[in-house]
Amino acid sequence: MQAPSSLVLDRALDVLAGRPLVALTGAGLSTDSGIPDYRGPGSPLRRPMTYGDFVSGPVAQRRYWARSHVGWARMRRAAPNPGHHALAELERRGTLRGLITQNVDGLHEEAGSRELIDLHGRISDVICLSCKEITSRAVLQERFERANPGFADSVGPEIETAPDGDVILERTEGFRLVGCTRCDGPLKPDVVFFGENVPKDRVERAYAMVDALVPVDGALLVAGSSLTVMSGLRFVKHAAKQAVPVVIVNRGETRGDPYAILRLHEGCSEVLSALAGAAPAVAAGAPIPQWRDLAP
């Protein structure tokens, strides 16, 4: 991991030093954990399954779950990288007041982040489309293994892993699905697919987290997101409208660049680790409004 130049870090600290922060993270933060992203420099064109595809019926669901069954074994071995740990450290010091992540890998929580909104859900949870019961992905993995003995072992390591934890696997017609243990309904990972709306309460909580920066002269730190979809971009636009400074750390251009006062074309692990190493704890003073107090 190469440290960012002192000039880059100085520019970031000039903007961020002494300010309470909220972070908005995307797939680029998890690439150093071995999880590929969708739109980073050099990433191949990927066509993830949409919500409409998934709910179309068993054929699409079989394709998704066969790929996910193989990919899950790889994804659950991923560990938090220095960028995740740096954000958790900034939270422990009182500098980072909240974190909104577009990632579904659960690595922020594993690293120790607690004031966290999983905007798109968690790949480790499964929801029944019929009765809405939430169950564990790890338990489902065991059920799939019993229903499809040897399936995952038959797929070679050369098969490419996709960003959401599945693999690029073409032959899936022999994979056997299992249903909800309560009602036998179809199961879906409890994550927001392309074409699916983020639950309203999560969006409102995330807006409140950004709004809590206004009275304390805080800043929004974007790390590892191209902000291509409105799901994350809306919070950048909202911050800028509220005169909250926006700093973006990402390799490659983002749709949020016009709203940022500082743009760092650097790796997340490098910049966030440097910030955590250089930023002191926020000095004690008047009580600081918490985002939870502002949530509807």
Task: List, by residue number, the catalytic residues.
Answer: 120
- In DSSP terms, which residues pair with 167 in a beta bridge? 161
Dist. CA 106–CA 2, nearest whole Å: 25
In Å, what is the CA distance from 41 to each residue of 48, 94, 176?
Answer: 18, 33, 36
Dist. CA 93–CA 253, nearest whole Å: 30
Residue 85 phi, psi (nearest 5): -65, -35
Angle in degrees, CA 23, 232, 290, rounded to 5: 40
Angle in degrees, CA 53, 116, 140, rounded to 5: 45
Q: For residue 222, how many other CB atoms are within 10 A of its CB?
A: 32
In this structure, the dihedral spanned by the alpha carbons of residues 238, 240, 245 and 246, taken in order and rounded to 10 degrees, is 70
Report helix, strand or coil for 254: coil
264 contact partners, CB below 8 Å, separation of at least 6:
4, 8, 11, 12, 247, 248, 249, 250, 271
* Paired sense of beta strands 121-128 and 134-136, if any: antiparallel
Contact yes or no for 200/231 (Cβ under 8 A)? no
Residue 140 phi, psi (nearest 5): -65, -35
